[in-house]
Amino acid sequence: MNYFELIVIVSLFCLGLRAITDNGMIGYPIRAYFLENLSSIGKPIILCSTCMSSVWGTIIYWSVSIQSGSLSLIDVPVWIGVCVSSAFVNSVLWEYYQSVNTCKNN
């Protein structure tokens, strides 16, 4: 799997998870729990689409790398690059998603 595909997978996973835990969605109780009880660690897990790429990007990247069996020293900077790139994609696409929803609701 190439790095672009990993960035897309991480971003789609994070944005999808963030979308289904938004207000009024089926996963909102999970979000509400983190907001009320674990807000400090909730940001990178479920509360912030940009921050989520650090946790979920790490899990996805290393799962794919270990499964492929091709671990090397180059994986560390690539992992960081995938997480940072995913964070950027997440922030841009989440802002777009929110602007579309705001326009639709007005």
Domain residue ranges of the chain, discontinuous segments joined by +: 3-105
User: Can you say whether the dihedral through the CA atoms of 27, 31, 37, 40 is positive or negative?
Assistant: positive
Given a contact cutoff of 8 angstroms between Cβ atoms, the answer to whether 62 and 79 are in contact is: yes
Which two tokens mark 17? 């998870």
Cα 15 to Cα 12: distance, rounded to the nearest angstrom: 5
Using one digit for the tens of pLDDT, what is the confidence trace for 3-50? 999 999 999 999 999 999 999 999 999 999 999 999 889 999 999 999
Alpha helices, DSSP H, located in 21-74: 28-37, 39-42, 49-68
| Total-model pTM | 0.88
Using one digit for the tens of pLDDT, what is the confidence trace for 44-68? 999 999 999 999 999 999 999 999 8
